[in-house]
Structure 1
């Protein structure tokens, strides 16, 4: 997995679940020092992922989070930019309502989001709907505010932890997310 992290990347958010079917995870932000050694720069933070866990072959509606290494760096939300260095799109379209899989309210889940570059065009607002791999492969996979339960395919962090991540991400560090079940990522 580490070999798939681009050579220029010096920030990696590693999100791991215990098994392929787990919908709870742990997120840790790592920073690469000039000598090449990685160290913890944030977390560990509790997280949620998709209801049915993880997959190497994500499709729209499968209720699994795509595993792999993906660029992150485009952010946005319903609330104003908290001071992020990555591009941030404040837009009322980030509003969400309804209830999650456990009956928990979803309102506020998109107050702040960070787009995961799975089936999206990098450099655009997270709201952009273009899907280079096709609509059937899903998209709109974000890191967003945790609502207390599993997601459709996203990763969610507690509000304060997500804000800390937003403030820590540095575009010059070419940040990525490494996500999936811990046993698969250890390979």
Structure 2
């Protein structure tokens, strides 16, 4: 997933450049000469204030990650207009940075939420397995939303959880890795979506295992954080989670991309160092004109951190 690191860095660099151009060229503002009538703000349609990136290479890479332009039939061919990007410097990191992007009518991507801190599984991210506290790595659809609280205004399919709502994590169950509504637990490690507590006040399913293959993990959600690493989910601040739910729109086929700037761990435990006498292998990255030539291959994590720290100031949110 080295490509993802480059993608996010390029995106952040583009934001920095875009913000600088906006400050340097106030005469190019597109603000109407006469103010438009003020309309009440609806909670389910937050208005992005970030500049469009307008970088063809970056937009192209985000489209590729989203699966846009696929020639294959089925859901993967749908044009994704909302992307949530989660990235960390190392696969073993239990924390990451989350940024949400939306594709405008001009086909250019723009940041909508974030960057914000996200908690991952206590073993970081990589290959998901049942009973292994690791967040799945890759690009996945976001489908079913739910919560202990009432619908915050999301357009996603949503149900308010009670003590009869479970997520089936029993590997021997025919409804493994699905929501079931019944009085008793489906067995195994199934979660009661109400008794799990405030972390499930607001949540949306990360469809990382749509084939529901036993052993490849179930119940992976984007949900509210309790300030600690998760059992494999991605967890963020409650208010941000609520806003993201209100922003998500199934008509835009939202997806989440989770990746790192180093190879994912191969074992079931965290790995931060290479065996003695060996050199860690990193995935090869396709050449991206205007991106790889500028960034080079070193300091990806440090540069990402620096750019992420600049974003709140540049976008007027700090």
TM-score, normalised via structure 2 length = 0.49
Contact 2:208 2:220 in 1 (8 A): yes
Match of 1:166 in 2: 245
Q: In the alignment, which of 172, 195, 206 is matched to residue 96 of structure 1? A: 195
Describe the SS at the equivalent of 1:137: coil
Q: Find the aligned partners of 1:96 and 1:149 in 2 and give their Cα distance.
A: 18
Distance change in 2, residues 1:63/1:48 (3 Å) = same
1:161 Cα deviation from its structure 2 partner: 0.5
Q: Distance in 2 between matches of 1:87 and 1:96?
A: 21
Q: Which has the higher helix share?
A: 2
Q: Which structure 1 segments of 5+ residues have no match? A: 98-106, 121-131
Structure with the larger RCO, 1 or 2 (CA within 8 Å, 6+ apart): 1
Q: Give the aligned partner of residue 25 of structure 1.
A: 96
Quick check: 1:11 aligned with 2:82?
yes
In structure 2, relative to structure 1, the CA distance for the partners of 1:186 and 1:95 (3 Å cut) is farther
Match status 1:36 vs 2:107: yes
- Pairwise CA RMSD of aligned residues? 1.9
Q: Does 1:140 align with 2:204?
A: no
Contact kept, 8 Å, 1:75 with 1:87, in 2: the verdict is yes
Gaps of 5+ in 2: 5-61, 69-78, 166-192, 264-282, 286-318
More strand by share: 1
Matching residue within 253, 256, 263 for 1:177: 256
Q: Which of 204, 208, 223 is the aligned partner of 1:118?
A: 208
- Shift of the alpha carbon at 1:79? 1.1
Cα distance, 1:44 vs structure 2: 1.3
Tell me the equivalent position of 1:102. none
Alignment length (residue pairs): 166
- SS state of the match for residue 198, structure 2? coil
Query: 1:37 Cα shift?
Result: 1.9
Larger Rg: 2
Measured after TM superposition, the shift of residue 35 of structure 1 is: 3.1
Q: Matched residue of 1:135: which SS?
A: coil
